[in-house]
Amino acid sequence: MPAEIANTAVFVASSRMPSVAHAASLSRIASRVSSCPIASINRPIPPAVDQVCRKALARDPSARWHTAAELGAAIEEIYSETVHDTNPGSRSGSRGLAGGRLVLERDDPSDLRLRRSDIDAFERSLRRRRVILLGITAAIATGAIVAAAVLLSREIPTLREEREPNDDVSQANRIAPGTPVLGYLGKRHSATEPDRDVYLVQWPAGSRRVVTVTVSGLPNIDINLSVNDGDGLHGATVDETGVGAGEALHRREIDGPIVVTVGESLGRDQKLPIENVSDAYKVTVTEEKLVGETEPNTSDADANPLELTQELRGYLDARIDVDQLRWTGADGDYNVIVRADGVPLTWRLADGKLRTPGSAKVSLKRGDLIRLERADRVGSGTLPGRDVMWSIVVMPGQ
């Protein structure tokens, strides 16, 4: 650094001097330099630097420094006084002789350069900012993941009124059990396909339940009702009443979600589906107690168990509905009591003999089937006793 100061001072001094293009000799140049101080041309130059330059350029050789080491010592002393006093943390430059020449090592710090501590502080601030930025990014990413998890795990709210489109299982409206839901059979799908509304009760898979599903009627439409399992493929459909009346499916045993479909049945002479956007039907899914008859129980394999002295109750809510019960008690003579107030019911054993409600003494063997069915299976129109329960109980014989 001292060498730079000396060279700069000489350059400034020589470059700012009046033109010497016509100078004849070095003595004339030296005379001009000595008679024109550098400080008078470049006022920021300290007087000590001006003195060093003037002594180095003195006309009389004896007035100059005799060795380069003396000149270097003078320059370093001036540098120490003018620069190091304003930068206490700096260290003085070192010097040495190499090949007879003065070698001055450059000092790293100066008042014109950032100190190392400043650079370290700046780098630390950059690292802190990087850490903070990474932390904020991680927090945002974590928050986004948590929010996504909450949204995915959050249950879809159930509805109290139908929302279109809901024409198939993939678009089914979620509803809650025990809550009536209003719906409309409005715009038809085509000239031959009426509107239908699909609903879903999202019970968890593997949860066994017994439910009753009902739908009220519409004044100008013959409504039909279907109840299926979660995939919408297996279940039952009822269409027993006519225009203006509702439908019901009682005590259906299900496993997991249940899909309910409300649609329109076209009459024999009806050409176009009816659109009714003014009158609302009401569909309700009700969870029943597990005790009692459960549908389906039409086949031998699905027959409900019948125990001694345990009353069993159920419904015949379709003309072709058949309820089969399997005797689980011991072989013997028993008194079977059947009640069906308001329901046209008949029942029979393996002997095929038709019996009506009341009390009957019969012989039962373990595993025997008792078959209950409607007496008006071949009828039409209103279905009497659809919502009335029958009951049966087996008592010890007298």
pLDDT at 238 over 50: yes
Q: What is the DSSP letter of 291?
A: S
Whole-number Å distance between alpha carbons of 195 and 162? 12
Residue 59 near residue 26 (C-beta atoms within 8 A): no
Q: What is the rounded average pLDDT of the residues 155-184?
A: 94
Between 138 and 38, the higher pLDDT residue: 138
Whole-number Å distance between alpha carbons of 195 and 187? 6
Residue 357's alpha-carbon distances to 93, 150, 217, 350, in angstroms, are 123, 57, 31, 17
Whole-number Å distance between alpha carbons of 234 and 209? 16
Q: Which of 64, 67, 69 is nearest to 51 (CA)?
A: 64
Q: Which residues contact 236 (CB under 8 A, 6 or more apart)?
A: 226, 227, 249, 252, 295, 296
Whole-number Å distance between alpha carbons of 282 and 182? 5
pLDDT of the residue at 223: 97
pLDDT at 98 over 60: no
**pLDDT band, very low/low/confident/very high, at 166 (cuts 50, 70, 90):** very high
Written as six digits, the tokens of 339 are: 């009640």
Written as six digits, the tokens of 305 are: 């168990």
pLDDT of the residue at 35: 61
Residue 167 near residue 259 (C-beta atoms within 8 A): no
pLDDT of the residue at 55: 83
| Global pTM value | 0.62
Residue 387 near residue 317 (C-beta atoms within 8 A): yes
Among 175-179, 192-196, 205-209, 299-303, the range scoring the smallest mean pLDDT is: 205-209
pLDDT of the residue at 232: 61
Between 380 and 14, the higher pLDDT residue: 380
Between 6 and 186, the higher pLDDT residue: 186
- Strand order through the sheet with 369-374: 304-306, 322-327, 369-374, 345-348
Q: Which of 177, 200, 181, 179 is nearest to 287 (CA)?
A: 177
Between 164 and 381, the higher pLDDT residue: 164
Whole-number Å distance between alpha carbons of 293 and 324? 9
Q: What is the rounded average pLDDT of the residues 69-89?
A: 70
pLDDT in tens, 46-63: 777 878 888 888 878 888
pLDDT of the residue at 83: 59
Whole-number Å distance between alpha carbons of 221 and 277? 12
What one-character-per-residue DSSP string does 233-260 give?
-SEEEE--S-TT--EEEEEEEEES-EEE
pLDDT of the residue at 335: 97
pLDDT at 125 over 60: yes
Radius of gyration of the chain (CA): 54
Q: What is the rounded average pLDDT of the residues 383-392?
A: 94
pLDDT of the residue at 71: 84
pLDDT in tens, 184-220: 999 999 999 999 999 999 999 888 999 999 999 999 9
Q: Which amino acid is at 126?
A: L
Written as six digits, the tokens of 361 are: 């003494």
Whole-number Å distance between alpha carbons of 317 and 156? 33
